[in-house]
Amino acid sequence: MSHARSSRSLRFALLTLLVGATISAVSQQPLQTLLAGVDRRAVTSLNGEWHYLVDQAPARALYTADGQINDKSYALNEHPNLVGRHNQEYDFATAPTLRVPGDWNTQVPQLFNYEGVVWYQRDFDFQPKPETRTFLHIGAANYRSHAWVNQKRVCDHEGGYTPFDCEVTAVLHPGSNFIVIAVDATRLQDGIPSVGIDWFNYGGLTRDVSLVTVPHAFIDDYDVHLAHRASFDPANTAITGYVHIVDAPAGTAVTIDIPEAGARATAQTDADGNAPFRLNARQLTLWSPETPHLYKVNLSAGQDALTDEIGFRDVRVDRTRILLNGKPVFLQGVNLHAEAPVRGGRTNTDEDVATLFGYLKDLHANFVRLAHYPHDERMERAADRDGILVWSEIPNWQRISFDKPEVYAKAVTMLREMIRRDRNKASVIFWSVSNETPNTPERTRFLTDLAQEARRLDPTRLITSAIIGPRPNGQAMVNDDPLCATLDVIGQNEYIGWYELTAEDADSMRWTFPQKPVIMSEFGAEAKAGNHGDVHQRWTEEQQAYVLQHQFVMLRNIPQLRGVAPWILTDFRSPTRNIPRLQDGYNRKGLIAEDGTKKQAFTLVQRAYAEHAIGKAE
Ligand code: GCB
């Protein structure tokens, strides 16, 4: 390792430690963390109508002239004096409201294209219970957010797609309280993603908001999985992992009980509050798409307890095969953005998820790539229940500032938050570190380090990334991207027949990859639903289906192909798609239009999946 490389790694390691400190640590200070399993706890929902005020750029209510967060403006939630001295000029009490969870863009026509700061406020009643602590849980706020409870700042968070929890114990009082949250959706050059994206930058409190009350010492993180052996062993019924307790003295007893599996163990916390455990089930029905069996897992420590539903399965790679519970699998999937079908806006309700999973079932899919960022946790819960395998990704999309340590630190935070939220979901088999990044040495170092971090945090899953390139050389495509070296499974994106070459060129295209399993993670063409014409006429349903048909011919010629995910299940909003009448602000590569109309391409893929006609598991 060169000196430059090692000092860089050291800098990254230090930053990582600092970032890590925000989601671990035993502390008497108010804690900013991420509570695993929040959706398994009884919470006080803060969903509903919140007052809002718009703080247009340069957002002088939120930022001081030198860019600091201003704690003395709207956060104070004062009311203007109508007589007497002049005090200030805002008032949440008489301001209109936005529904939470929800993006502001689809709720207020004037805010449709707004990408700045919006302030949210609501009152709530609360009766603190003795010997408890309370956290403000924010399921997602895009992109940066700052929260105050009763005028005290309790949280700052960057990253639009992962949850966070801020301790509010000391600032709550019995009776009426109020909360103010400023959300800034401004795109940042050094953000993740960066400024250029091909999806809609929905702003606001886009997922559930709640208060979570826990005992003084409480479970904040846990990992319960089938013990990972050197090779798959059908007789293996060992379950292992850890339960982490905040503010537990060393030696605190933690119980892990899986009644249906006849498995129960008591473990002890170490000095860091961590209780590693191992237990043996009588027998196990392993989780798979065919048998998506979930076990009730009861965790308890002192006064705290929670019950999750967890599936146990083994996923690994054997040369160019992907093995699920020892059996080779072929993934028939599709990509998905977190955009609600029909109503539009961010996906964040049970109904949205039911509609999307209905489409997946109809398609005979056993796999979904949740592009390009973590989606609502309901999606992984549904995937666990319905037996759909999941690719989960952080928003390292195309060009981000790969040369900056502070951007790497952000990526690590997002990766940790994604893994922490979803590590107990059996459906999730891939952590993807990126999508379509430029092949540069800085990029490769950044993503190689990130992949190692993902492996360190979770050695039980497969690491992947969606790669773009190579350029075609005659009838040959040779993927020699050095990033492949660090991946367990190669994701390959390509748009032969749309952005390059012709649909027919795919028939004789020959791909060369490193000897690893390959998933064709994006391919497709645009079509406006109801627009018909010749197979060579762009934006027609006929052409979209024709491109996919030729893709299937090409895909069948890739021996190490282990999965496919056409781009994309439904048309989705993208501000860069501006051909009137054909796009109207939508990327039209959906198999289904945004209003739910199925295009010819849907039927084509559906038939191919029903017949298992695209690829082989080995
Ligand atoms: C891609 C990107 C995806 C875009 C898609 C397109 O390669 O990964 O985010 O939306 O192509 O339609 O151009």
How many Å apart are CA 564 and CA 369, to the nearest integer?
A: 10
The answer on pLDDT for 281 being more than 90 is yes
Distance in Å from the first CA to the final CA of the chain: 37
Mean pLDDT of 603-616: 98
- What is the best residue among 436, 467, 576, 591 to mutate for testing ligand 1's pocket, by most ligand atoms within 8 Å of CB? 436
Mean pLDDT of 307-328: 98
Ligand 1 center from residue 311 Cα (angstroms): 32
- What is the best residue among 567, 570, 591 to mutate for testing ligand 1's pocket, by most ligand atoms within 8 Å of CB? 567
Q: Which residues pair with 437 in a beta bridge?
A: none
pLDDT digits (tens, 9 = 90+) for 554-598: 999 999 999 999 999 999 999 999 999 999 999 999 999 999 999
Give me the domains of the chain, ranges plus CATH numbers: 2-215 (2.60.120.260), 233-313 (2.60.40.10), 358-610 (3.20.20.80)
CB-CB contact of 568 with 544 (8 Å): no
Q: Which residues pair with 53 in a beta bridge?
A: 119
How would residue 205 be classed by pLDDT, with cut points 50, 70 and 90?
very high
Ligand 1 center from residue 198 Cα (angstroms): 7
The answer on pLDDT for 3 being more than 90 is no
The answer on pLDDT for 264 being more than 70 is yes
Compute CA 539 distance to the chain's CA centroid, rounded to the nearest angstrom.
30
- Which residue bears the tokens 């994309």? 568
Ligand 1 center from residue 567 Cα (angstroms): 8
Mean pLDDT of 193-221: 98
Q: Cβ–Cβ contacts within 10 Å for residue 51, how many? A: 20
Please give the pLDDT value at position 30. 83
Q: How far is CA 479 from CA 451, 490, 504, 565, in A?
A: 19, 10, 21, 18
CB-CB contact of 373 with 393 (8 Å): yes
Closest to 263 (Cα-Cα) out of 297, 293, 234? 297
Percent of the chain with pLDDT over 90: 95
Please give the pLDDT value at position 6. 36
The answer on pLDDT for 4 being more than 60 is no
DSSP 39: G
How would residue 95 be classed by pLDDT, with cut points 50, 70 and 90?
very high
How many Å apart are CA 525 and CA 544, to the nearest integer?
A: 5
* R_g of the chain, CA atoms, integer Å: 25
Mean pLDDT of 336-343: 96
Parallel, antiparallel or unpaired: strands 263-268 and 518-522: unpaired
How would residue 208 be classed by pLDDT, with cut points 50, 70 and 90?
very high
How would residue 27 be classed by pLDDT, with cut points 50, 70 and 90?
very low
The model's pTM: 0.95
Q: Which atom of ligand 1 is nearest to the CA of 493?
A: 7
Ligand 1 center from residue 450 Cα (angstroms): 22
Least confident of 14-28, 181-195, 280-294: 14-28
Q: What residue owns the CA closest to ligand 1's atom 3?
A: 198
Give me 550's structure tokens. 């030729």
Q: Cβ–Cβ contacts within 10 Å for residue 366, how many? A: 21
Ligand 1 center from residue 570 Cα (angstroms): 13
Percent of the chain with pLDDT over 70: 95
Mean pLDDT of 307-315: 98
Ligand 1 center from residue 353 Cα (angstroms): 23
The answer on pLDDT for 549 being more than 70 is yes
What is the rounded average pLDDT for all residues in the chain?
95
DSSP 599: P
SS3 of residue 506 by DSSP: helix
Amino acid, res. 82: L
Ligand 1 center from residue 17 Cα (angstroms): 34
Please give the pLDDT value at position 11. 38
What are the residues whose beta carbons fall under 8 Å from the beta carbon of 377, sequence distance 6 or more?
A: 39, 139, 163, 207, 421, 422
CB-CB contact of 274 with 309 (8 Å): no
How many residues are listed for the chain in this entry? Answer: 618
pLDDT digits (tens, 9 = 90+) for 241-252: 999 999 999 999
Please give the pLDDT value at position 28. 56
How many Å apart are CA 344 and CA 593, to the nearest integer?
A: 11
- What is the best residue among 198, 373, 437, 591 to mutate for testing ligand 1's pocket, by most ligand atoms within 8 Å of CB? 198
Ligand 1 center from residue 404 Cα (angstroms): 25
Ligand 1 first shell, C-beta below 6 A? 198, 372, 435-436, 493, 522, 567, 587, 589
Please give the pLDDT value at position 531. 98
Please give the pLDDT value at position 29. 74
H or E segment and range at residue 572: strand 572-573
How many Å apart are CA 315 and CA 426, to the nearest integer?
A: 10
Ligand 1 center from residue 511 Cα (angstroms): 20
Q: Which atom of ligand 1 is nearest to the CA of 198?
A: 10
Q: Which residues pair with 54 in a beta bridge?
A: 118
Q: What residue owns the CA closest to ligand 1's atom 9?
A: 198
